[in-house]
Amino acid sequence: MTEGHEPLATIFRRLIANYGPITIQHFMGESNARYYSQRDPLGASGDFITAPEISQMFGELIGLWLTDMWVNAGRTTPVHYVELGPGRGTLARDALRAAKRYGLEPTVHFVESSTALKDLQLTTVPQAHWHADLSTVPPYGPVLIVGNEFLDALPIRQLVRTAQGWRERMVACEEDRFVAIAGDKPMEAAVPETLREAPEGTLIEVSPAAAAVVYEIAGRLVDQGGAALLIDYGHDHPRTGSTLQALREHRKVEPFAMPGEADLTAHVDFAALAAVVQARGATWLGTTTQGQFLRQLGIESRADNLTQFAPEHRDAIHAAMERLIGEGQMGALFKVMGIAAPNWPGGAGF
């Protein structure tokens, strides 16, 4: 058996036996790299479903938001559509179709690490150019950047206040099972000052990987012009507690039970990311709920419009809309963060 096909759990067990517990960041990063590289996790037969797979209205409205920004900023070309983690390419296909009606035909760039998903994206959006990260996207011309359920897959660190002080949460192995334990190194320096004296047992999460991506997005917007939308489940105020979860076949499973076989995610800390945007000199347009954002962009009239063309699908169209904007569904838990170049206009919906 080659190294690449050995179960990740076996590799982790050996690593931990030889070198001691590993960070959650390490566990999550390796798990998701393995998880996404080998499968299409989306849809009814997969492990989870995302907004663009629920209805074409989602991608269309995002395409119209980007077009509106580009038109108001003066229709500069060349212009690039850049999507982070495009999944099946559905969002891009719907957004680009809507944009084209208003004269926006950008070059298309996908940042994607999974070869399995890249193959699917190739059939949905054949004109795309693929990148391993943002660094190779063209450095000239405005960038219109989108990421839906991308940041939540990036690895997090967890820090916990113990009787001895702040420690990093690590993954150890007990009789073949992976369990979380507190590490032995002091981690005070990684904890925001306002939380240092929090009670014993307090747990916080930080995502250096998400912060690095958002820093780079903001830098691109400052240097080249453009706008970005980042959509994910998360919170717009700082919070404590673990949000690490694993999904397999639409069910939650124990986060450490099957590394590489389940989708590991954590809620996105949009408050921390807004601070990164501003520190890099881009404009934070705001963070709002997905329900509020899509309503303001006119999802209800779009649903009526689609119903006129296909009255037989009336119920399905309205059920899909409800899933996207309903308070108890994706409408409140999912947030949309808008970012723009400093000299670009403000965006609709914020």
Where along the sequence are the contacts to ligand SAH (CB under 6 A)? 32, 36, 42, 50, 52-53, 85-87, 91, 111-114, 117, 148-150, 153
Nearest distance in Å: CB 117, ligand SAH: 5
Q: 265 vs 123, 248, 290, 329, CA distance in Å?
A: 27, 12, 18, 18
* Residue 51, amino acid: A
Closer residue to ligand SAH (CB): 191 or 228: 228
The residues, ordered by sequence, that sit 6+ positions from 273 with a Cβ below 8 Å of its Cβ are: 151, 210, 211, 214, 230, 337
Closer residue to ligand SAH (CB): 73 or 153: 153
Nearest distance in Å: CB 216, ligand SAH: 12
Closer residue to ligand SAH (CB): 191 or 246: 246
Query: How many Cβ atoms from other residues are within 10 Å of residue 175's Cβ?
Result: 5
Q: Which contiguous run of DSSP H or E holds residue 348?
A: none
Beta bridge partners, 111, equal: 84, 131
H-helix segments, the chain: 8-19, 24-37, 51-54, 56-72, 90-100, 115-124, 208-224, 270-279, 290-296, 299-309, 314-325, 332-333
Nearest distance in Å: CB 124, ligand SAH: 11
Nearest distance in Å: CB 91, ligand SAH: 6
Query: Taking CB positions, which residue lies at the least distance from ligand SAH?
Result: 85
Nearest distance in Å: CB 179, ligand SAH: 25
Closer residue to ligand SAH (CB): 243 or 283: 243
Closer residue to ligand SAH (CB): 41 or 183: 41
Closer residue to ligand SAH (CB): 182 or 324: 324
The residues, ordered by sequence, that sit 6+ positions from 67 with a Cβ below 8 Å of its Cβ are: 98, 99, 102, 103, 104
Structure tokens at 270: 């949009």
Nearest distance in Å: CB 148, ligand SAH: 4
